[in-house]
Amino acid sequence: MTDPFFLSDSGLLESYRAPKWLPGGNAQTIFPYFINLSPIISYRRERWEMDDGDFIDIDWLEGESDKPLVIMLHGLEGSSQSHYALSLMNLLQMLRWRGAVVHFRGCSGYSNRLPRAYHAGDSMEIDRMLRHIAHRNDSHEWNTPCYAVGVSLGGNALLKWLGEQGAQAARQIAGVVAVSVPLDLAAAGKVLDSGFNRVYTHHFLTTLKRKALEKNRQFPGLLNARAVAACRSLYEFDNLVTAPLHGFRDTDDYWRQSSSKPWLGSVQVPTLLINARNDPFLPESVLPQKSEVSSFVSLEFPQQGGHVGFIQGTFPGKLDWLPQRIIEFFSSLCGLDALPG
């Protein structure tokens, strides 16, 4: 097997550097969606029937029973087919590690059953998911570490859960990597509803509004369908849909209560936070300082990378750097030399 890894003389993966042919945060964010760089992964799907009458779909990647398990929580309107999920699962497959992509409600290709969806601060949902998978891991007596990766919205919910749980989180997971996280939801919402970033907002709203209107047909009168169909910003959508469906007063209340940044000082599980400074979804000015996070949190803020972009190499590039960095971090925690030198 050829060596796909870019190692420095010290044997560690070098900090991310964007290719010269792909300048700027927007290009680095969008390019992976226009050029198919992702491998094909064969998952085994499991449907978890929940106590509240709903379900969650988990896509499993099989591996060797004595290797670690990596759980991925996807971003807004993401899935196990998102480019970042496929690139990570591809590397896990090469290493014979086990993987699981947990779909938030309504994101697996099937509408969920209840008059609710998912949101950026749903740490109770994260707790259910991780406890379920950790129990499965223990019941099989695999006795191998369980790690979690949260991307964008999934990363925000995961970090919030970590802070709330404190030392108790270590009962479910041994380490975390959070990528391109909208740590301050109000700041992220403001930039996404302005200028060129409205392109991203339009992209998200296309499926969010469709799902909300389907939910309203499932539960007539649940939402103001006309207002939902007409909304043009994430602020409006969260005011009309996310907040009322999940018990928040309004968008401002939802964003304030759900932001993960205030919880970073309470994290007590080894955690790596990777956010590019040119991420169009979050202003660089709100990235946390070392004084704002616990000693368990490592901050890695490369100058380039966009929002979950991190493409490397000559045109059309590869999506190798991010999964390599994730596995390097987890390998350092469990004492494995996972990346071939």
Catalytic residue among 152, 180, 266, 331: 152
Catalytic residue among 57, 122, 279, 320: 279
Calpha distance 131→134 (Å, rounded): 5
Catalytic residue among 83, 103, 119, 307: 307
**Contact (Cβ atoms closer than 8 angstroms) between residue 65 and residue 54:** no
Active site residue 279: yes
Active site residue 307: yes
Active site residue 108: no
Tokens of 135: 């129990």
User: In this structure, what is the dihedral angle of CA atoms 236, 242, 246, 250, given to the nearest 10 degrees?
Assistant: -10
My answer on whether omega of the bond before 316 falls inside 30° of 0, hence cis, is: yes
DSSP per-residue letters across 41-103: ---EEEEEE-TTS-EEEEEEE---TTS-EEEEE--TT--TTSHHHHHHHHHHHHHT-EEEEEP
Tell me how far the alpha carbon of residue 65 is from its chain's centroid: 25
List of residues 6+ apart from 42 with CB closer than 8 A: none
By annotation, the residues acting in catalysis are 152, 279, 307
